[in-house]
Structures are given as C-alpha cells and as structure tokens.
Structure 1
Amino acid sequence: HKLVPVKAGPVPLTMGMSSIGVFRSTAFSCLSQLQGNERGVRETDAPEFIHQARVSIRRLRSAIRLWRPLLPEDYVSNFDPRWRTLASQLGDTRNWDVFITEILPPIIKAFPDHSDVQRLSSQARSHLAACRKAAQAAIKADTYSRLLLEFTAATLALAESRKPPITAFAPRSLNKRAKRVAALAAETRDSNPEARHALRVALKRLRYALEFFAPLFPAKRLQRYHQGAAGLLDLLGRMNDGTVAEQLVVQAVPGHHSDLVRAWLAGRNDLMLAQLEPLLAEFLSHPAPWEHG
C-alpha cells in the first residue's frame, strides 16, 4: 500500500448549516488532511507529507481566526498556541527542503566548482536531516495525540447558535480579509520583504476563507478571483523562499563565504519584483465574487 500525500479537499457545506456547524465541518476537514499525512511524515523522508501536514495546520489556524468572533475565548486561547507550536516544529524541514530542491540546483549550475557552494550544499543537507528528525518526533509524541483528541472533543462540544446565519457571516468575513489585502497591497510598492510577507499572509487567509465558503457563491466568478489570488501567492511564495534562503545561507555558512550566493539570490529577487506590480493590479481589479450584482 503506497503512501500518497493528502491535499486539502473541499469542505462539506450545506445551505441550512449554522455558522458554528460550518466551522466544525471546516475544522474536521483540516484534521482529516493532517491525519492523512501522519504516516508519511513518520515513516518516510518524502518532503511533500510534511508540506501537506503544515498546510492542514495553517488552514485550521486560519479557520480558528476566521470564526474567532463566534468561538469561546478559552477554546481559542487553549488550542491556537498548541497548533502554532506544532506548525513551527514542522516548519524548518520545509524551508530546508525548498532550499535544497529549488534554490540550490541553479546556484550549483552557475558555480559548479565553487567551494563555498559545495560547503553550503553539504551543510544544508545535514540541517535538513536534523529538522526532519525533529518533525518526525513531534508527530510521534503523546502531546500530538492528546492535542488531536482534546481538540476533536472540544469542537464537537461547541454550542450551536442560529446567529449570525452563514449567508451573512461569510461575506462579512471575506470583505474584512479583502480590505486587509488591499491596504497591504498599497504598502508593498517598494521592495520591502516585511510588507510583502504581511501581504502574503493576508492573501493566504483570504484564499483559505474563499475555499471554506466556496459552495455559497457562484462558481465561475469565484474561480476567476481564486485563480488571481493563487497566481499572486505563487509569486509571493517564491519571493519569500528567496528571503528565507538568505537567512538559511547565513545559518549554514557564516561569514563572507555566503556573499556569492546572497548576491545571486538578490538578482533573482529583483527579477520577480518586476512581475509583482502588474499581478497585484490585476488581482485588485477583480470584483468580489461574494457581492451580489
């Protein structure tokens, strides 16, 4: 039986559900993705399992944040930090993996005989192995099993409420997220990586919310808007990988040995920066698919 990484599936959602009912369905959909990747994380070195496990936790934390106004305070304060801790235990593996599989190969090709690049490559591999061990330990730990059980029980026990109806809650939540994206887009006109990172986080939250609420809105309009967000996120993600790579280079080969690689990364970043403005403008020109008319 071959293990296959599990991607996020559509959230089961029906029109008569309460807003808390939709949250419950969303949370369990995220847990199902996480548990579908558990064995792959524990038993293999294939990076996609850890990546998809992280995606499921990110989606889950995004759902908790989205429904926060309707959730009990102690539910949020108990579970959100625990999910955040687990996500960070899995996070470093993904960063090193992207670095080794996507960032390093073109650098090695450009400077095949350079000793600093060779040193960087071997250091990166040993960092990756250590991080993977830590990620596997986190998924095998009792802390993880306890988190799954307690979170499931608490989510099942959430009190139902007819108010606000999901048809009011969803557009209101999406508007709030879209406004945040537009405000941050105005701040990313320069090449500031912090502003870009904030935009990427806000855009991800908007995208997840769109995916959670997808059955409520016209598919065609939603798809166009979603594709625009996905294209923008892809570019911002690659730019972020470059920023993370710069930090990893300094970690792996301290001192002036990293100068060459950092200069190469800066050049790559400038090329992507030129693509950002038109993609942003195009995305912001789309009408919101959750608004009638």
Structure 2
Amino acid sequence: MELELATDAEAVATLSRLKPLLACRDGRPRSQALKIVWHDSPERGLLAEGMILAEHRGVQRLERVYPGAATWLPGQPVPVVAEAPDLAALPSPLAPLAAFEGRQTASVHQSGGRAVTVTVAKGILRSVTAERPAARIWLSGEEQAVGDIARLIAGAVPAGVPLTSLAADGVALATGRPAAARHGGAPELPTGPLSVADALMHILGHLIDVVLVNAPLAVRRDGDATEAVHQMRVAVRRARSAVSIFQGAFPGGALGPVNDALKHLSARLGPTRDWDVFAEETIPAIQQSLPEDDRLRRLIAAAERRRRESQAALAGYLESAAFRLLGVELAWLVSARFCHVASEVAADDAAGGSPIGAVPDAATGSVGSVPDRAASLAEFAGRVLQQRWKKLVSSGKQIDDLDIPSLHGVRLRAKRARYAAEMFATLYQGKASHRFIRRLSALQERLGVLNDGVAASHLLTQLGGPAGRHGYAVGLVTGFLAARAVRMRPRIVDAFERSRRQPAYWA
C-alpha cells in the first residue's frame, strides 16, 4: 500500500537524524531533483471539474485536485484520471498555474522483515506572484510495515495526514484563496456499481476527512471553533454508525480497531460540545427572561470558566502528537482495509467466487453468495434500513407516555435510521428518501431538546447542583428545562407520527 504524510521543512531535517528510522534503513538513500508543474486553461476549466494537468519529467497526467464524488481515501496518492496519449481532448490552450521545485530523497527501511520505501520531498511551491516552502512524505510497501513506519515518523515529528493535495496547495497559492476542504457534511456514495466493502471505505474516508479538516478550526477560540467541534463530533458519530451498520459484512473483529479509535476521539469531543450547547443555546434562552438576575449571571460565569477549561483541554489534545497519531492510524486502517479488500476481490474474481462484502443472511447472520456487487449493496442497504426503521417504530410505541430515558432511546434510533438513510440515499431515485431523512431530522432535533436538558443537568451537577453555592440559579435552570420538556412533548409526538406513516421506499 501507499500512504502520504504532510510535513514541513524543519520536520524533514529532523527526520534525516531520527535514530529509530536510521537504525532500520537498508542501504544508502537516493536523491534527485523534483519539479512538478500544474497547468490549466485561462478559464480554469479543469479546476471547475476538480482536476488539473500535472507535468513531471516530460510526462503529463490529468489528476484530481479534490475528491468530488469519487473515492479518494485520506493519505492516499492523488488519483490519476488519464495519462498521455489520452489527453487530446483537454481544453486548449493550457498554461502553467503553479509548480513545486526541490529535491526528493528515497530510502528503504525494514520493519518486521518487510521493506518500506520512504520518499521525502522538500522544496518550494511557486506561482506567478507568491511562493512558500512545502514538504511531503510518501511511504510504499506492505500494509503492516507501512503502518509501523508511518507511526514511527508521526510520533517523532509533526507529520500527519494531508488536509489537501500538493496540487491544491499550489492552486491556493496561485489564486490567493484557501484550498477547499476535501469533504464536508454527510457522505454520499458514488453512482455506479459498488461493493459493500467499497461503500464502507468511501463513507469512512469521507468522515475521517471531515474530522481532520475541522481539527485546526476547533483549536481557535472564535465562533468557528464551536461549529468545528460540532462537525467533528457529528462526523465521529456517523463513522461509528457506519461501522455498526457494516460490521456484519466483514470478518469478525475486522472493524474493531477503527471503532476503538473513533470511540476514543468521541470521548474527547463530548464534554466540550456539551458545554458549548449549554453556554450558547440553553443559557441565553433563560437569560432573556431574567436579564438582571445576579445569581444567574454568577452561574453563567462559572459555566463559562468550565467551558474554557474544556476547550483548552480539547485544543491541547488536538494539537498533540497523540491526535496526529490518531489521524494517521485512522487513515492507515481504512486504506489498509481498502487495499486488502481490493486484493481479495481480484483473487476472488480470478477464482470465480462470490464477492467480498456479500449480504449477511437475515435469519442466520451468515454471508451468502450474491453474484452482482451492485445488487449486493442495494440488498444490504434495504435490509439495514428496514431493520433500523423497525427498531425506531417499535421504540416509539405509546410515545405519549414514555419517560425521558425511553425518549432518549427513541432519539438514538431515529439518529441511527437517519444516518443509514443518508449513507444509502444515492441508491434510491425520487424524493422519498430525502423526505424520509428530513422527517427523521425533525424528530431527532425535537428529541434533542430533551437530551440537551439531560446533558445540562449533568453540567449543573458539576457546578455544585441545587445544594451548592449556585443552588438558586441551578433551580432556575432546572425549572426552565422541565417546562421546556413539557412544551416539546406534543411536537415530538407529531414528528414521530409523521415519520412513522412514511412508506418504506427501500422495499
């Protein structure tokens, strides 16, 4: 497999003196000049399609700059769309837009008896009006050995999963605009034939990108930080939901390490997000009714101190080597699994066997033989959606009489059904899937108000609870939350009934 890491010139210098890496080097490194020139039309026609023409040593390749709808996993090499002589249909004329010029050094290292080639590029990104230093590290070899060397490097120097391609950085330098994020929001599957395993890799790759691209924003103490933490937390939840959905289509325990890494990150993000919601949504609604209450103001000040402490702790983690290693680990796990599946599919096709990622039998849980991979994914999606829908409807029986913990269970099932519907939406034509998602979102949002109240109660306990120094203000907040929950119940029942009456469009 191959894996790419982004770093800087100072880290590259440190890397050349890193004793554990030097100790496993096999032979002398080889160094040569490296120059890549990226071209586009004056109207930026290629960039409008998310592509660019790269020229290196006289060879021209049409490459992707941004993933678009295609699968481009984090840390994986730039996808090549076409190479000469298949470039005759490109717009004309083409002119240089940006370039990278420097040196690349390749060395072979041993890990567990397996060779890994480490290629380090260090140089200058240039456009007509600007330039800046840039550096990248590429690793190539057997999956486990690549992972070992990547962890060694990322643990010792500030090298992590690239948030943008080198070409995208060059385009940003030339245009004066920040490079666009590789992915954002909910993942959508590419159109066309896709196996169950390929679908999961696409989804996880998208969501890991969302996590990593929001991390630098989350450490800033401005309005963007709150939204960035929220986007990271939602992406982690979607990714864990995807692991839960797809784990039955993989050998036992294959997705366990991915889920463990995501669970660890979720535990880091949760407290900060809870304090953000409390400070920016719950408290302002109460303060609007009691703007002059000094005791409420003191509680708010205490809550804000706790929030800043939580934000500082999260920022420290997101800027640490531990988080950098977590990002590399997630990218490696997904890419390694993708490479492994690809080799299994190739071997399976050669042997005439059943496809990787066949659909688990509903009754036995065993994997059956499905001859067509596209049909396999559609059948898999239908079973997942039906199962999650049935659990949601069952949990909401007699919803008028359910207590708060039971309604929390309904919310979780609504969220899981919605995440599944979002993941598989491109498999279904028409508006039914989008209407299904929209109604589940409304139900989840209304139930989320109750959940925010539960989370706020836990935070109030950390501030001393009703018996502490802020007891009076805690009582005010508790009363407000209880009254809001009562007002929200009819709206929850209405949203649930609207969701329950929807037809099963996947059937």
With normalisation by structure 1, the TM-score equals 0.92
In the TM superposition, what are the counterparts of 1:242-281 in structure 2 within 5 Å? 242-254=453-465, 255=467, 256-257=471-472, 258-281=474-497
Quick one: higher RCO (CA 8 Å, sep 6+), 1 or 2? 1
Greater shift after overlay, 182-191 or 222-231? 182-191
Secondary structure class of the residue paired with 2:397 = helix
Say whether 1:156 aligns with 2:326.
Answer: no
- Amino acid of the residue matched to residue 15 of structure 1? G
Identity in percent = 26
Secondary structure class of the residue paired with 1:283 = helix
User: Do 2:436 and 2:499's aligned partners in 1 also have CA atoms closer than 8 Å?
Assistant: yes
Aligned length: 291
- What's the CA shift for 1:162? 5.5
Distance in 2 (CA, whole Å) between partners of 1:187 and 1:138 is: 44
Distance in 2 (CA, whole Å) between partners of 1:3 and 1:246 is: 41
User: Do 1:218 and 1:289's aligned partners in 2 also have CA atoms closer than 8 Å?
Assistant: no
With normalisation by structure 2, the TM-score equals 0.54
Gaps of 5+ in 1: none
- What's the CA shift for 1:205? 1.1
- What's the CA shift for 1:102? 1.1
- What's the CA shift for 1:3? 10
- Amino acid of the residue matched to residue 81 of structure 1? D
Deviations 1:13-41 (A, max 9, x none): 23311100000001101111112212101
**Could you tell me which residue of structure 1 aligns to residue 218 of structure 2?**
41
Greater shift after overlay, 26-35 or 240-249? 240-249
User: Do 1:104 and 1:121's aligned partners in 2 also have CA atoms closer than 8 Å?
Assistant: yes
**Could you tell me which residue of structure 2 aligns to residue 17 of structure 1?**
194
Distance in 1 (CA, whole Å) between partners of 2:336 and 2:232 is: 25
Secondary structure class of the residue paired with 1:218 = coil
Say whether 1:202 aligns with 2:397.
Answer: no
- Amino acid of the residue matched to residue 275 of structure 1? R
In the TM superposition, what are the counterparts of 1:57-136 in structure 2 within 5 Å? 57-136=236-315
Deviations 1:187-233 (A, max 9, x none): 64324121111111111111111111111012311111111111111
**Could you tell me which residue of structure 2 aligns to residue 189 of structure 1?**
400
User: Do 2:211 and 2:232's aligned partners in 1 also have CA atoms closer than 8 Å?
Assistant: yes
- What's the CA shift for 1:2? 7.2
User: Do 1:191 and 1:273's aligned partners in 2 also have CA atoms closer than 8 Å?
Assistant: no
- Structure number with the higher helix fraction is 1
User: Do 2:189 and 2:203's aligned partners in 1 also have CA atoms closer than 8 Å?
Assistant: yes
- Structure number with the higher strand fraction is 2
Gaps of 5+ in 2: 1-176, 346-355, 360-375
Deviations 1:110-162 (A, max 9, x none): 22333331121001101110111121122223232222222322322332416
- Amino acid of the residue matched to residue 218 of structure 2? V
- Amino acid of the residue matched to residue 290 of structure 1? W
Q: CA RMSD in A?
A: 2.1
User: Do 2:186 and 2:422's aligned partners in 1 also have CA atoms closer than 8 Å?
Assistant: no
Larger radius of gyration: 2
